[in-house]
Amino acid sequence: MPHRQLSFKEACARLRIPEQILRDAVKYGEVPCRKQGAEVVFKASELDAWASARILSLSAKTLSPEHSAATRMDVKNIREDILLPQLLKLEYIDLDFRAKTRKSVIRDLVDAAEAHDLLCDPADMLAQLEARENVSSTALPGGIALPHPHHPDPYLIMEPFMLVARTRKPIWFGAEDDAPTDLFFLVCCGENMSHLHVLARLCMMIRDTEITQKLREATSATEALDALYAAECEVLARLR
């Protein structure tokens, strides 16, 4: 639940990060929290937004060990932790996305998800996506954005999914390098799958493989899907 209050240990478990990383974030005032007696507590929705923004800002070198550790929490053999086939189907890829503005990208992604019967409440999903973008843009340098709900509420969606869209022309979406964005990954996992783990996986793929170039060059959804699946396997093969 978005307003659930978490203890320090519960927060670490939710984020799948070492305690020292969260201790440092609390110490330097980087993460939203408050004191309850002698204990530090966190609101789930605020923690989720902070954690996703943090993942999107990490370099590949910094993100890699955390991603590897989170993967090991799910499976004994890290090469078995394949996420994309559980989320992404051929029909969820649009290489001719017609949105022209930041606002219309979010709206049209929601409309696409609704057309595939993936949403329980489209209006709430739209509000959640806009709320997350208001915290900080989900756009990364290099023309990619990973929009996702402000809070991974399982009641927003029918099942975990990912939509991939390539716009006809790049549009401004708030990336730090001020470059326009043309590749969008809408990530919606509810609480059945860790959306933070999925975001980390995508960031590793974007930073460690040639997936963005291949998506821009893809001439069909099938080609794009094959490239995405191959990029995830490439990232997993590099994990130790």
- CATH number of the domain where residue 208 is located: 3.40.930.10
| 159-208 residue pLDDT tens | 999 999 999 999 999 998 999 999 999 999 876 457 888 998 999 999 98
Q: Is 226 part of any domain?
A: yes
Answering whether pTM is above 0.75, one says yes
Lowest mean pLDDT among 58-72, 91-105, 210-224: 58-72
Residue ranges making up the domain that contains 10: 5-57
Q: Tell me the average pLDDT across 103-118.
A: 97
Residue 204 CA to chain centroid, in angstroms?
A: 11
pLDDT of residue 195: 80
Q: Is 21 part of any domain?
A: yes
The band of 129, judged by pLDDT with boundaries at 50, 70 and 90, is: very high
Q: Is 28 part of any domain?
A: yes
**Whether 48 and 137 share a structural domain:** no
**Whether 38 and 120 share a structural domain:** no
Number of domains in the chain: 2
**Whether 132 and 20 share a structural domain:** no
Q: Is 73 part of any domain?
A: no
